[in-house]
């Protein structure tokens, strides 16, 4: 009896995994912008919306990301937000360019052990405003996504344009939550 139930569980798991893969195949590939001018991208960005994640759950408002270009070709990343108790939270990370041809695919790490960074996460620029006034950022697995802007709020028509970028990349607009300024 146990052998049958384990076999059924394994079969169910395999069918579920196959269905998940088939669903993923039905979605378009995640594509970055053609090129990112890192000089223009550097500076302060405000988080307008995000797909909620475990590493930002302490942030209740005023979330920003600041990108500072370094002489070694990497980028210092300073993420800041306000916690529920009013205290500011800050995390410093390091980004490296993964695709030199576009500068649109980066890896970011916020964990360092004596200078060694064992964990790197994808950071892909999927869309950019013509004046670098907004950015759509995500990951190729679609688990993470952020809408960033140079100001804490953006116009509704601009927000619709950005959600269009995510939808063309197979993201679900309903997965995003608006961020309080």
pLDDT mean values, one per 10 residues, the chain (181 residues): 33 35 71 98 98 95 98 97 96 96 96 84 97 98 98 97 98 97 90
Looking at residue 23, what is its pLDDT?
52
In a shared domain, residues 126 and 52: yes
Statement to judge: residues 90 and 153 lie in one domain:
yes
Whole-number pLDDT of residue 3: 36
Mark whether 88 and 161 lie in a shared domain. yes
Long-range contacts (CB closer than 8 Å, 24 or more residues apart) made by 89-93: 89/58, 89/59
Regarding whether 97 and 13 lie in a shared domain, the answer is no
Structural domain count, the chain: 2
What pLDDT sits at residue 26? Answer: 81
Do 13 and 90 fall within a single domain? no
Determine the structural domain holding residue 54 and report its residue range: 38-178
Q: Give the integer Cα–Cα distance in Å for 121 and 141.
A: 11
Q: Does residue 160 share a domain with residue 117?
A: yes
Do 91 and 169 lie in a common domain?
Answer: yes
Q: Say if CB 50 and CB 166 are below 8 A apart.
A: no
Pairing of strands 121-128, 134-138: antiparallel
Instruction: Give me the pLDDT at residue 7, please.
Output: 31
Q: What is the pLDDT of residue 83?
A: 96
pLDDT for residue 27: 87
- Look at residue 14 in the predicted model and tell me its pLDDT: 34
CATH of the domain at 46: 2.40.128.20
| pLDDT (0 to 100) of residue 112 | 78
74 lies in the same domain as 163: yes
Q: Are residue 141 and residue 164 in the same domain, yes or no? A: yes
- In a shared domain, residues 58 and 91: yes
pTM of the predicted protein model: 0.84
83 and 1 co-located in one domain? no
Count CB-CB contacts under 10 A for residue 162. 24
* Together in a domain, 7 and 88: no
Alpha carbon distance 160, 97 (integer Å): 29
């Amino acid at each position: 009896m146990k052998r049958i139930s384990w076999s059924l569980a394994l079969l169910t798991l395999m069918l579920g995994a196959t269905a998940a893969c088939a669903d993923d195949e039905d979605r378009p590939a995640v594509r970055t912008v053609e090129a990112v001018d890192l000089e223009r991208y550097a500076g302060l960005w405000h988080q307008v919306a995000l797909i909620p994640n475990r590493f930002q759950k302490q942030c209740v408002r005023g979330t920003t990301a600041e990108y500072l270009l370094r002489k070694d070709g990497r980028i210092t990343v300073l993420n800041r937000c306000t916690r529920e108790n009013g205290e500011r939270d800050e995390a410093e990370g390091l980004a490296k360019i993964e695709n030199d041809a576009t500068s649109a695919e980066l890896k970011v790490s916020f964990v360092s052990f004596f200078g060694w960074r064992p964990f790197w996460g994808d950071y892909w620029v999927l869309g950019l405003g013509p004046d670098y006034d907004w950015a759509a950022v995500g990951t190729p697995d679609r688990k993470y996504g952020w809408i960033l802007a140079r100001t804490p709020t953006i116009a509704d028509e601009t927000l619709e344009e950005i959600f269009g970028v995510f939808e063309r990349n197979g993201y679900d607009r309903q997965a995003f939550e608006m961020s309080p300024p």
